[in-house]
Homo-oligomer: A and B are copies of this chain.
Amino acid sequence: MKSLKTPPIFCCPPLLAGCLTGAEAASAATLFRVLGEPARLQLLSLIAAQPSGEVCACELVESLGLSQPTVSHHLKVMYEAGLLEKERRGTWIYYRIVQAQLVSLREVLG
């Protein structure tokens, strides 16, 4: 914090408002934080690598060295963040990537 007894002589004037509002920063940060986990990035990569664009959850459990509850947890985190959509077909649940969220993050990085 700047000292209270002296005016800002040596330092620069306050910045203009930045491009990102607090709310925008918060929502983008929530998505980035979801991506900030190697296991989740690999799950996304596995889904994206499929020509069908979807993968059943049991395949994802087998592909990483993680337990089934842990994979289920990561899928839930990404689903609730809007990065994945899921569809039940019989016993299995298929996950797909929601592109819109990734696109908005790319714009933040631009």
Contact = CB atoms under 8 A, between A and B. Distances in A.
Interface of A: 1-2, 10-12, 14-16, 18-20, 22, 25-26, 28-42, 45-46, 48-50, 55-56, 58-63, 67-68, 91-92, 102, 105-106, 108-110
Given A15-B49, A18-B46, A38 B25 contact: yes
B19 A49 contact: yes
Nearest to A62: B14
Label chain A's interface by main secondary structure: helix
A18 B44 CA distance: 9
A101 to B, nearest CB: 10
Contact of A46 (B15, B36, B59): B15
